[in-house]
Amino acid sequence: MELDPGTPRHLHHLLATAQARGRLPSVAAGLVRDGSLVWSDAVGTLDGRADGRPADADTQYRMGSITKTFVAVAVVRLRDAGQLDLQDRFGAHVAGTAFGEVTIAQLLSHGSGLQAETNGPWWERTPGVSWDTLVGSSVGQRFRAGRRFHYTNLGYAALGELVARAHATDWFSVVSRDLLAPLGMTRTTLRPAGTAASGLAVHPFADVLLSEPEHDAGAMAPAGQLWTTVNDLARWAAFLAGDTGDVLSTDSLAEMLEPHTVVDVPGVAWTGAHGLGWQVWNVDGRRSAGHGGSMPGFLAGMRVDLESGDGVVLFTNTTTSAVTAPLTTDLLATLSEREPKGVEPWHAAEPGSPSDLDVIGTWHWGPAVTTARLVGDHLVLGEPGQGRGARFGRVGRDEWVGLDHYYQGEPLQVVRRGDGTVSHLDLASFRFTRTPYDPGADVPGGVSEAGWA
């Protein structure tokens, strides 16, 4: 895809403005559409000095907690291979902890109640310890499992250990072999390799820098240690948008993106949740997913609009900043506004495809009136998102299954008379009839012989 010449200039201006106003040593970003990186740019230098080496799309930055999404996909792959169930107790796979009763799904979605951080010194700035040392220090839960959202870095250390034991090797070897290699992500590593930005802290009241430490986090590494580039993380954004290759089925990805644990902040409307490893957002009815990341010296972000598939990735080498989150939003919005996606033209159904004209039209659930219509491959009953309106996918000649809302997963059967004409719809035991309480349509409980009066 070739962008309009004015779009890269506008995007660069956004990036440069954020770098200057936010006093970012460097910032690098990219935009993804239809599975490809369609724009990338960087402003600033790797060490924050005016004469330093400029950053670019192949510069490594620490991705922080975006690491968790790779661990989560590795866990779901184990489920898909039949090696575990997401409702299994963690202790059934990794014994010897005080939180063995929590489920794998609860760990993935930050619903386990497990403590957020380790009991030792600030793990992000100190050398890591082994798994046995980590969990041998009275690690436990802050809340009852399943009660509420409580973000836990330690929970992903646990999931990394689970992946390692299931494969009889370390967790990163699994991620590298099963995820990074098939997706061609050759610049994603456990420690910095090749051209990499320096982790820096910027003084809040002066234009001076402090180097942040870099180390192997040991058992905590699955929570946030990976390094990557704009080019590589753009491939992971394409994965999130549905281009999963042979790494994960689209059904499993969709399951991972379902909201499992709502991020509840008192006094604030719900806009965020966690799925199985992924952060998901619902802002003004627009769904997106991805993850943020931070480690001392670095901030990172990845977000994909789940409707359009457009995505953004962003890195900076500073410990904290107020400009990076709105910058990701602005970059993604600019792509949408200045480069609208093409509109697929409407076409009539292929000759010979089922018409189902005797199913569409007006139906009644008791005295309530609704309509059925065909939209592409779906039968749509009512208005999805309003009341119990839903789409249905075909599973047989007269058999459908709900795809949305109340009726998701529920069966819809078109019931025909002996002569082949349609009598009624049976939707999860509810009867939909052509006239209200049609006495000839086998309405459960029968219809009063006195009729309407």
Only one residue has tokens 């386990």, namely 112
Give the model's pLDDT for residue 174: 98
How high does pLDDT run on average in the chain? Answer: 95
What CA–CA distance (Å, rounded) separates 408 from 27?
43
Query: Does 385 score more than 90 pLDDT?
Result: no
The encoded tokens of residue 171 equal 């967790």
For 41, 227, 238, 388, the CA distances from 188, given in Å and listed in that order, are 19, 6, 15, 45
b/e per residue 311-341 (b: at least 16 CB within 10 A): bbbbbbbbbebebbeebbebbbebbeeebee
Query: Does 451 score more than 90 pLDDT?
Result: no
Give the model's pLDDT for residue 120: 85
Helices and strands, number each (H, E), in the chain: 10, 20
Taking residues 51-56, report their average pLDDT: 97
Give the model's pLDDT for residue 411: 97
pLDDT digits (tens, 9 = 90+) for 99-132: 999 999 999 999 999 999 999 899 999 999 999 9
- Listing DSSP states for 17-66 in one string gives HHHHHTT-SEEEEEEEETTEEEEEEEEEBTTS-TTSPBP-TT-BEE-GGG
What is the chain's length?
453
Taking residues 165-190, report their average pLDDT: 98
Query: Does 429 score more than 90 pLDDT?
Result: yes
- The rounded percent of the chain whose pLDDT value lies above 90 is 88
Give the model's pLDDT for residue 373: 95
pLDDT digits (tens, 9 = 90+) for 274-285: 999 999 999 988
Query: Does 353 score more than 70 pLDDT?
Result: no
Q: Tell the CATH topology of 25-338.
A: Beta-lactamase (3.40.710)
Only one residue has tokens 């997706």, namely 183
**pTM score of the predicted model:** 0.93
HSE-CB for 144 with a 13 A CA cutoff: 2
Taking residues 353-376, report their average pLDDT: 91
Give the model's pLDDT for residue 170: 97
- Model confidence at 324, pLDDT cuts 50, 70, 90, reads very high
- Of residues 352 and 75, more confidence is placed in 75
Give the model's pLDDT for residue 410: 97
Taking residues 409-420, report their average pLDDT: 95
Give the model's pLDDT for residue 346: 86
CA-based end-to-end distance of the chain = 65
What CA–CA distance (Å, rounded) separates 188 from 282?
29
Provide the β-strand partners of residue 113.
Answer: none
Residues of the chain with CATH 3.40.710.10: 25-338
- Model confidence at 167, pLDDT cuts 50, 70, 90, reads very high
Taking residues 141-165, report their average pLDDT: 96
Q: Residue 81 has what DSSP assignment? A: T
For 366, 426, 441, 450, the CA distances from 446, given in Å and listed in that order, are 12, 15, 9, 12
